[in-house]
Amino acid sequence: MIPLETNDNVLIGWIEEIVYYQGRYYILDRQQKGIQVFDDKGKFIFQLNKRGQGPGEYSELRSIYLNPFTSRIDILDLSVIHSYDLSGKHVKKYPPPTNSTIFFNSFVALNEKHMCYLREAEEKEFIIIMLRKA
């Protein structure tokens, strides 16, 4: 067990996901509506909290994914993916995979060009889409 640094500016509310990647812990905090990043000793590094409607901002955190193919923090925002570099700077926004208003629960990269989305309904539904053209 690793104790995480906390203080009045670094509080963790409701942990939805924890991802370990390249010596860092990325914690999706549903209550704080952001991602807190700690090193492997538990020291706080930075917080990714870009909630809003502007460029590089998300409206609802659904899931995070540390993409091993791009070395980026990918955030699922309903049906849109926001991609940030490992310092928290917004890099790119990927549009929804379909023309409908389907919301997804999670996702995973299959390779650098393809992403698999999961939508939980009565039956599990998987949708594979191409993010970038070759």
**Of 85 and 11, the one with more pLDDT:** 85
For residue range 93-116, what is the model confidence (pLDDT) as tens digits? 887 766 656 677 777 888 887 777
For residue range 34-87, what is the model confidence (pLDDT) as tens digits? 999 999 999 999 998 888 888 888 888 888 999 999 999 999 887 788 999 999
User: What's the distance, CA 127 to chain centroid?
Assistant: 18
> What's the pTM?
0.81
Full set of structural domains in the chain with CATH = 15-95 (2.40.10)
Q: Which residues of 20-41 are buried (b: 16+ CB within 10 A; e: fewer)?
A: ebeebbbbbbeebbbbbbbeee
